[in-house]
Amino acid sequence: MKVTSILFFVAFLFVPFLVKAQENKNELGVSLFSLQAYGPGDYLYDLGLGGYINPINSVIYKRKINEALKLRGIATAEINASSFPDYRDECNDCSTFTHTAVTSGVSLGAETGRSFGKFGGYGYTDLFYQFKYETRDYVSGWGFSSYNYQQEIQSLGLRIGFGLEYHFTEKLSLAVEPSLALSKLQTTGKGYDNNTRVEWNKDKSNELKFRGINIFSLNVSF
């Protein structure tokens, strides 16, 4: 996985040297990382600043329409895993928790902005679809309570935000985007809560989520 990512990254850097000099109407980017909060009640969740760091998790394509407008499409894939260490051999009253999530998604949108020398700023709006599969396992100290479940979550929503970019050259730039997303969720899952089997099917809910860093990307124009 690491070798593939490195090869992809090196090949990506050579794109500017393989295309002919022309007006740069296309832009291809790879997100070096994003920052994903753990969940409600966790550290800095409300600010979207604490949680998982997702390396090389998105590919971004943009098409320039005019000096102020670009169309954009983004494909995303993320794998998150966390756990509290299991000290049960030494500590009977220690709780244990593990969480794994695999997420994929696509989005289509537009952005508008301006450049000032090597710096630029823009606002954007994206429509997105996301699919997430996750598992959670928890056992409290002394084993008084426990739960484990698997669930699938589908999200359809609207994401807005702004971006800041810095142009190293005419073809190579770096960009960062925070985001605010409003989505409709549909959740299906099953598991056990204190040895009682539970299931939920197509439960619907709404979610408003802020990410302090949704995309931190290296981009090539051609």
pLDDT averages per 10-residue partition of the chain, 222 residues: 49 51 84 71 46 81 95 92 59 73 95 94 98 88 78 96 96 95 94 88 90 92 94
Q: Where are the domains of the chain?
A: 2-8+24-221
Residue 52's pLDDT is 65
Residue 43's pLDDT is 41
Burial zone of 212 (CB within 10 Å; 0-12 exposed, 13-18 middle, 19+ buried): middle
127 Cβ contact partners less than 8 Å away, ≥ 6 residues apart: 107, 108, 109, 157, 158, 159
Residue length of the chain: 222
The answer to whether the pTM exceeds 0.75 is yes
Neighbours of 159 (CB within 10 A): 21
Q: Which fold has domain 2-8+24-221?
A: Porin (2.40.160)
